């Protein structure tokens, strides 16, 4: 049981690291705000391809039978995650990458509440403490954010945090149902949304070559991360899943600042301080996981 908990810890942390590199691809894209929907179209196809390849490789001929076992919670989770895939990319066109990323840090507290109410998951005192430490880190990071563009981007990113919390709850519910198909369906939702928007508004499908490459790479990172996150959901309570995935917050801010990676978006001092606070909570959670046991799923 202990090894299962630690396995979940590793899987989700690696997922967070993969997602953190995805932020770089968004910042390296050219004029993303005006090419948003075509970018999301290519990205959605890439996410679907990565997850589908893994599912077919692992499950083989059982894929169709597993698909038929999906319940309304799984399908709802797919729809919610699909909306999050679209909304987060939109948020980074309206504010700094750092603000978009750190708003995701409110998700653990929301998930803890939903997990307790809907799944009956009880968390340790250490996890509750770490969640409030994360909230404190977010409060520090958002200090002095006042322009309307940043606030709009932060609001959309907060919506993504709420949606990701709900998606995580659907992963933990009815664990006997194969869950990897869920993010694959979510990527189809986001792809069809982008396609419908492009057709209805009669905008061009064309993208700069660099944006096509970045969309495909971003989709591959998101898809691989969702595979690991979904696999890790077997071993961790919902709130801890999102708490650990917040490694993407700290790492993502670091990558977009690191000059050698070509973005050089310098975070404010309060962003750095808040990031250190969040990282501290994740480290303490990791130390705890060495002696923790797997939490039962409802």
**296 within a domain of the structure (yes/no):** no
Q: What is the pTM of this model?
A: 0.81
**294 within a domain of the structure (yes/no):** no
Taking only the tens place, the pLDDT of each residue in 82-120 is 898 888 888 777 766 666 666 777 777 778 778 888 888
Range of the structural domain that residue 167 is part of: 2-289
**295 within a domain of the structure (yes/no):** no
**235 within a domain of the structure (yes/no):** yes
**254 within a domain of the structure (yes/no):** yes
- Count structural domains, the chain: 1
Taking only the tens place, the pLDDT of each residue in 118-140 is 888 777 777 778 778 877 887 78
Print the SS3 string covering 143-183.
CCCCCHHHHHHHHHHHHHHHHHHHHHHHHHCCCCCCCCHHH
More confident residue, 262 or 256: 256
**298 within a domain of the structure (yes/no):** no
Band the pLDDT of 47: cuts 50, 70, 90: very high
Band the pLDDT of 296: cuts 50, 70, 90: very low
* d(C-alpha 108, C-alpha 37), whole Å: 29
pLDDT surpassing 90 at residue 145: no
**297 within a domain of the structure (yes/no):** no
Band the pLDDT of 144: cuts 50, 70, 90: low
Q: Is 290 exposed, middle or buried (0-12, 13-18, 19+ CB in 10 A)?
A: exposed
């Amino acid at each position: 049981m202990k090894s299962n908990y630690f396995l979940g810890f590793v899987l989700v942390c690696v997922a967070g690291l993969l997602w953190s590199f995805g932020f770089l691809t968004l910042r390296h894209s050219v004029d993303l705000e005006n090419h948003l929907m075509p970018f999301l179209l290519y990205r959605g196809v890439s996410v679907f391809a990565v997850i589908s390849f893994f599912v077919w490789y692992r499950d083989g001929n059982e894929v169709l039978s597993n698909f038929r076992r999906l319940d309304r919670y799984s399908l709802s989770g797919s729809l919610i995650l699909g909306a999050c895939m679209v909304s987060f990319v939109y948020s980074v066109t309206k504010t700094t990458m750092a603000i978009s990323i750190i708003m995701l840090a409110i998700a653990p507290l929301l998930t803890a509440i939903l997990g307790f109410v809907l799944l009956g998951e009880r968390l340790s005192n250490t996890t509750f403490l770490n969640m409030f430490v994360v909230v404190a880190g977010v409060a520090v990071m958002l200090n002095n954010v006042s322009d309307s563009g940043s606030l709009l981007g932060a609001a959309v990113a907060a919506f993504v945090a709420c949606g990701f919390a709900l998606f995580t709850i659907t992963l933990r519910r009815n664990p006997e149902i194969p869950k990897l198909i869920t993010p694959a369906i979510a990527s189809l939702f986001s792809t069809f949304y982008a396609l419908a928007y492009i057709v209805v508004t009669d905008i061009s499908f064309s993208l700069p070559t660099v944006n096509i490459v970045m969309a495909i790479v971003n989709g591959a990172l998101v898809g691989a991360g969702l595979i690991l996150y979904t696999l890790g959901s077997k071993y961790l309570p919902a709130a801890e899943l999102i708490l650990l995935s917040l490694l993407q917050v700290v790492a993502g801010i670091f990558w977009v600042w690191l000059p050698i990676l070509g973005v050089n978006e310098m975070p404010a001092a309060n962003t750095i301080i808040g990031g250190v606070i969040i990282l501290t909570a994740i480290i303490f959670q990791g130390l705890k996981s060495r002696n923790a046991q797997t939490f039962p799923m409802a």
